[in-house]
Structure 1
Amino acid sequence: MYSSITPLLLVDGYNIIGSWSSLKATRDRHGLEQARHELVETLINYTVHKGYKTRVVFDSQYQKTPSTIEHHSQHLSICFTAWTQTADTYIEKVCAAFFSRQETDHDRIIVATSDRDQYLTAMGYGAEWMSVDVLAKDIQSSRSQVKRKQQSNKRSRGRLLFNCLDTQSQEKLARWLS
């Protein structure tokens, strides 16, 4: 049974980029912007499939800018921290607000990182932790489930022209044939 409140997945963006070999290779060949883009694209469908609200958190990388949040979809947003704030401190504040019940939009918070200190902090505030390896495996599993479901839907429709028609056309054809 699902809760009516959506879980929040907080992703330590640069930690994931530095941990996944495919994203590290993209970062090294094409730069951080492309690696960030690939991470976000990877998370969009996963987020919808799992029923999460996802916030990918990136450090400001020494840019003297205020904190910003970009909404990429209904389910996924990106937070660039203010220049004096790290992704770790941002995630810690969200977890602390959740622990003190100031954060009431979510009944669960899951923190995806390989950072041991971040893991301990998140758990201490009552959030759940997901390692970068588990996140990668869960994303792959989610892709496989979606692919199987799509293939099943294609097979169930069959190869007959009748099955390719919309419902109204199918009804007209059935009346004509009877």
Structure 2
Amino acid sequence: MPSAGPLRPSTRPLSSLSVLPPIADEPAYTDGWSEWPPIPPPVPFPHLPAHTDTTCCPSSFLSPVHLFAPPPSAPIASPSSPRSRLSASKGGNKQTTTAVAPRVDPNINVSVRKQIRFAKLKKELAKAAVAADRPRVATPKRFGKKPSKDALVEDVERRRARRAGESGELWLNGEGIPVVFVDGYNVVNNWDATEGLMQRGELSKAREVLRMFAGTYGVRRGHIVKLVWDAHGLDEEPRITRWSRHLEEIFAAGEADEYIIRQTGQLATDNPERDCIVVSDDKEVLYRTVGAAGLEHLSWLNTHTFVREMEVARGQDILMRERRIDRKLRQLEKTKPLLFSERKSSVQRREKERKAALMRKIDQRLQSPSPPPRRSIEEQIAALDDLMRQTGEADGDGA
């Protein structure tokens, strides 16, 4: 049998290579061959036994031609299909058709209702994924029931009454804010913080210290504190200075005791149910105020008790301020970490410099020569006797 020679690439259409008969209108092949060589028989796979049953698998199934032929069930979307998408390129008039998968496929073993349900679930999951990427906005949480309109109105009225000085939360007996009359010079002369200032004659500084502590006491206890000072008749009328809603400073025209006794009696006459507190160590003031105002709504505090109450109120005020500062620093650390780190580093640097300066002072004191020890009184008397004896002997020798 003559050899067929080397095979050359074919220019015939793909339809002529299939097992189907050639198309009638196909032009004849005129390249020197009388006819296309026959297709070789199928070659079985080496790891499988020979399969000759053509009823379930035709002999042409394993032909190499079928490896290149498109599957008969692959749908080709047409441009007029409603589920297709046409996209035109920017450079020319070329159009590409992209097939979109249908929402419901009747060829799978799943009911149409379940397919629609799965499609809706997929859309919900896609929306949830998009919403998860968005930044969440913090909304304030409300605990408990929403207050009614009447409760809100009552709260506003209660706040207004508190600002006006008529709040029931600050009452002792329900008839007004307590008034505290303080004999100023009696307190500053018996207080360790101001006793040294009074001895040096710095009366203005002593009054300022007492004014600061008394103002804090009035705010923390909810009382109206009236500091009364002796003016010794400098003015015919008392000079009243109101520093805040809880603190008043009064320079009486005469003695402070007389002014306190007169004001407590007038307060008992105008409002008998209002509480009154007198701060003084003078027993005469106590007896006279009791006679003028009565015992029912009059309280008495000595200077030591009042000083202790002022110091406790001052400590509470400092603690509240420190907590407020810590809360602001924690908020600053969350919102502006860079600014917080810079502030923290500057504070640490200043604290380190302060400690270094203190250690330098301590080293200088340790290195400096210590002063001579102080002699006792007996040693000083003995040294003085020796000096007088030596002086007497020198005078006798000179005579």
TM > 0.5: yes
Match of 1:71 in 2: 242
Aligned-pair CA distance for 1:144:
2.4
2:256 corresponds to: 87
2:267 aligns with: 98
Displacement of 1:30 in angstroms is 4.4
Aligned position for 1:28: 199
- Aligned residue-pair number: 161
Q: Normalized per residue, which structure has more strand?
A: 1
- Contact 1:122-1:128 within 8 A present in 2 as well: no
* Stretch moving more, 60-69 or 136-145: 60-69
2:274: which partner in 1? 107
Which structure 2 residues correspond to residues 31-42 of structure 1 after superposition, within 5 A? 31-42=202-213
Matched residues in 2 for 1:155 and 1:17: separation? 34
Q: Contact 2:228/2:249 (CA < 8 Å) preserved in 1?
A: yes
Structure index of larger Rg: 2
Instruction: Identify unmatched segments of 5+ residues in structure 2.
Output: 1-168, 338-399
Match of 1:6 among 156, 177, 197: 177
Task: Name the structure 2 match of 1:162.
Answer: 334
Contact preservation (8 Å) 2:279, 2:303: yes
Instruction: Give the Å deviation of 1:61.
Output: 2.9
Q: 1:64 to 1:139 in 2, by over 3 A?
A: closer
1-side partners of 2:245 and 2:273: how far apart? 15
CA contact (8 A) 1:17 1:23 kept: yes
Q: TM-score with structure 2 length normalisation?
A: 0.37
Which amino acid letter does the alignment assign opposite residue 334 of structure 2?
A: F
Q: Identify the range of structure 1 (51-60 vs 18-27) with the bigger mean alpha-carbon deviation.
A: 18-27
Give, as a single letter, the amino acid of the residue that structure 2 aligns with 1:24.
Answer: E
Give the partner amino acid of 2:190. S
Q: Deviations over 1:60-90 (max 9, x none)?
A: 13525432111112221111111xx211111
Distance 1:106 1:14 in 2: 29
What TM-score does the superposition give when structure 1 sets the normalisation length? Answer: 0.77
Retained in 2: the 8 A contact 1:7–1:110?
Answer: yes
Query: How many angstroms apart in 2 are the aligned matches of 1:78 and 1:154?
Result: 31
Q: Alignment partner of 2:231: what SS?
A: coil
Per-residue deviation, 1:11: 0.5
Deviations 1:135-159 (A, max 9, x none): 1111111122233334444556674
Task: Confirm or deny: 8 A CA contact 2:213 2:311 kept in the other structure.
Answer: no
Equivalent runs, 1:131-150 vs 2, <5 Å: 131-150=302-321
Distance change >3 Å, CA 162–CA 115, structure 1 → 2: same
* Identity rate, percent: 22
Q: Kindly state the Cα deviation for residue 31 of structure 1 after the two structures are TM-superposed.
A: 2.3
- Residues 119 and 105 of structure 1: CA distance in aligned 2, closer, same or farther (over 3 Å): closer
SS across alignment from 1:19: coil
The answer on 1:18 being equivalent to 2:189 is yes
Aligned partners of 2:194 and 2:209 also within 8 Å: yes
1:53 partnered with 2:224: yes
Give the match's secondary structure for 1:72: strand
The structure-2 alpha-carbon separation of the partners of 1:122 and 1:29, relative to structure 1 and needing over 3 Å to count, comes to same
CA distance in 2, matches of 1:81, 1:32: 16
More contact order relative to length (CA 8 Å, sep ≥ 6): 1
